[in-house]
Amino acid sequence: MRRKSRGGDAQTLDRDERRATASLAAIFALRMLGLFMILPVFSLHAESLEGVTPMLIGVAIGAYGLTQAVLQIPFGMLSDRFGRKPVITLGLLLFVIGSAVAASSESIHGIILGRALQGSGAIAAAVMALIADLTREERRTQAMATIGMSIGISFAVSLVLGPMLANWIGLSGIFWMTALLASIGIAVLHLLVPTPKTSKFHRESEAVPAQLGAALRNPELLRLDFGIMILHMILTALFVVMPLALRDRAGLASDYHWMLYLGVMLLAFVAMVPFIIIAERKRRMKGIFLGAIAAISVSQFALSWLTSELVAVALLLFLFFTAFNLLEASLPSLVSKISPAASRGSSMGIYSTSQFLGAFLGGVVGGWSYGSYGVETTLMMGGVMALLWLLLASGMEQPRYLSSYLLRVEQLEADQAALLGDRLREVRGVAEASVDGEEGVAYLKVDSVEFDEAELREFSLAEA
């Protein structure tokens, strides 16, 4: 007789899974909120720091990206060896220390050090591994999507909250606030996040060193890695100069910047929804994707010409963030569609590394460009980078509209696992199937239109 997992319905997250997902999403959101809150205010409030230059302002904004890019995969591997909660706790403590260093610094160099320490607490892979430990295979994608949504929401909130807090408590106060948020994250981790009975390696959420080479040789995945790097280069460079342009060119006092960001982000979130529906349900992903990249380029070039016109700046920021949000949602989906079923974790590890590296490079290049050539050239540079991305992305293959799906099966010998993979590929809507007999997990790629989840139940240990 098949056994039912934890007495829960395999179609939905059970109570423990909802608790784990909500609490880990909160930890992720608290950390990302702390990282992002200085984006819309740092250029404005860094002018009085000792040793400040435009170049170093950009380095300070993007410094977290370098350490996060270097350490996020190793942190995930450390969590396999020493446990999820100890590694996540260490990462959050590093974030607290980095925030305190930045809050206590009166020089730009001290803040750069603090930001680098913030990024060194690279807990993303460890958090994803923990959520994998705490959820059933069939519901894991749903839990991870919830955490992804929390990151997007925290980014939008940070653009509004950062300027509001800066006016009340200053730059130092924001860094102390980020230290407090990370400390709350530690409390949430130990008080609310369940402790898994067992921890094991999860290919769908963690990088496999032996698979990294293949992911780096896949031209379609490399296009996406390059794309997320360019997107975050443009975003970070934009925030090196845009707060200054709003104040000095468009005449919007810094006290009111939060109002502009609030309106822009709310409208941008609403505006992107129809495009996501068209891309996924109408299967127009490539066209929508290329159109969003083009919109990024247009917004950057137009901003470089119209920085003194407040209404035009607001409309162009709306265009930029609509396209940005759409691309932020589409890129991980494309990585999941393209990567082989059993190596999604490795593909996403490289993708995330590229994202954080882009944030660092955007700060460095944006600061250098602003110091050497001014606001307009920095924005035009973003437009050129988006055009290069558009040229590269135009050669992408039409994506297969497949989703990742995990199925818990019996532990099997290698020949039995291969036979089960053949049987699973015969199920309607299953395009790929790779069975790891030792783990007792089948990694599938399925067409959501044709796929009927009920047809897989006879293979699953999650069903009674």
Q: Which residue has the higher pLDDT, 182 or 47?
A: 182
Among residues 399, 430, 451, the one where a domain terminates is 399
Q: Which residue has the higher pLDDT, 405 or 188?
A: 188
Is residue 40, in this structure, part of any structural domain at all? yes
Alpha helix ranges (H) inside 339-374: 344-373
For residues 55 and 142, membership in a common domain is answered with yes
* Two structure tokens written together for 320: 């930029």
C-alpha pair distances (Å), 19 with each of 184, 199, 256, 258: 17, 18, 37, 32
Q: Which residue has the higher pLDDT, 458 or 274?
A: 274
Which amino acid would we find at residue 208? V
Length of the chain: 464
Q: What pLDDT is recorded for position 6?
A: 45
For residues 410 and 301, membership in a common domain is answered with no
The predicted-structure confidence for 70-117, as pLDDT tens digits, reads as follows 999 899 889 888 999 999 999 999 999 999 999 999 999 999 999 999
Is residue 6, in this structure, part of any structural domain at all? no
Is residue 26, in this structure, part of any structural domain at all? yes
**Residue range(s) defining the domain that contains residue 86:** 12-198
Residues facing residue 384 across a β-bridge = none
For residues 395 and 408, membership in a common domain is answered with no
pLDDT of 36 strictly over 70:
yes
For residues 156 and 225, membership in a common domain is answered with no
For residues 276 and 412, membership in a common domain is answered with no
Nearest to 193 by CA among 157, 143, 145, 155: 143
Average pLDDT along the chain: 90
Residue 157 backbone dihedrals phi, psi, to 5 degrees: -65, -40
Is residue 1, in this structure, part of any structural domain at all? no
Q: What pLDDT is recorded for position 8?
A: 46
Angle at 114 between CA 89 and CA 178, to 5 degrees: 60
For residues 194 and 229, membership in a common domain is answered with no
Question: Which H/E stretch holds residue 26?
Answer: helix 15-36
pLDDT of 5 strictly over 50:
no
Q: How many domains does the chain have?
A: 3
How would you class 240 by CB atoms within 10 Å of its CB: exposed for 0-12, middle for 13-18, buried for 19 or more? buried
Cβ neighbour number for residue 436 with a 10 Å cutoff? 18
Q: Which residue has the higher pLDDT, 271 or 447?
A: 271
Is residue 4, in this structure, part of any structural domain at all? no
For residues 409 and 369, membership in a common domain is answered with no
Rounded percentage of the chain residues whose pLDDT exceeds 90: 61
| Angle in degrees, 0-180, between the axes of helices 84-104 and 124-133, rounded to the nearest 10 | 150
For residues 245 and 257, membership in a common domain is answered with yes
The predicted-structure confidence for 153-165, as pLDDT tens digits, reads as follows 999 999 999 999 9
The DSSP string of 170-193 is: HHHHHHHHHHHHHHHHHHHHHHTS
**Coil, helix or strand at residue 413:** coil
* Two structure tokens written together for 154: 């925290």
Beta carbons of 243 and 254 less than 8 angstroms apart: yes
- Residue 289: partners with Cβ closer than 8 Å, 6 or more residues away: 279, 327, 330, 334, 393, 396
Is residue 464, in this structure, part of any structural domain at all? no
For residues 378 and 443, membership in a common domain is answered with no
Q: What pLDDT is recorded for position 110?
A: 97
The CATH number linked to 56 is 1.20.1250.20
C-alpha pair distances (Å), 406 with each of 198, 341, 432: 18, 9, 11
Is residue 445, in this structure, part of any structural domain at all? yes
Among residues 164, 179, 198, the one where a domain terminates is 198
The predicted-structure confidence for 77-89, as pLDDT tens digits, reads as follows 898 889 999 999 9
For residues 180 and 284, membership in a common domain is answered with no
The CATH number linked to 416 is 3.30.70.100
Is residue 2, in this structure, part of any structural domain at all? no
How would you class 224 by CB atoms within 10 Å of its CB: exposed for 0-12, middle for 13-18, buried for 19 or more? buried
In which band, very low, low, confident or very high, does the pLDDT at 461 lie, cut at 50, 70 and 90? low
Torsion of CA 84, 90, 93, 94, to 10 degrees: -120
* Two structure tokens written together for 340: 């082989």
The DSSP string of 207-237 is: --HHHHHHHHH-HHHHHHHHHHHHHHHHHHH
Over residues 282-301, the mean pLDDT reads 95
Among residues 384, 399, 414, the one where a domain terminates is 399
For residues 64 and 175, membership in a common domain is answered with yes
Q: What pLDDT is recorded for position 11?
A: 57
* Two structure tokens written together for 59: 């380095």
Question: Which H/E stretch holds residue 289?
Answer: helix 285-305
Over residues 400-423, the mean pLDDT reads 85
Cβ neighbour number for residue 210 with a 10 Å cutoff? 9
Over residues 405-422, the mean pLDDT reads 86
pLDDT of 173 strictly over 50:
yes
The DSSP string of 55-104 is: HHHHHHHHHHHHHHHHHHHHHHHHHHHH-HHHHHHHHHHHHHHHHHHHHH
Residues 163-187 as b/e (b if ≥16 CB within 10 A, e otherwise) read: bbbbbeeebeebbbbbbebbbebbe
For residues 304 and 423, membership in a common domain is answered with no
Please give the Cα distance from 97 to 104 (Å, whole number).
11
Over residues 210-227, the mean pLDDT reads 91
Q: What pLDDT is recorded for position 462?
A: 54
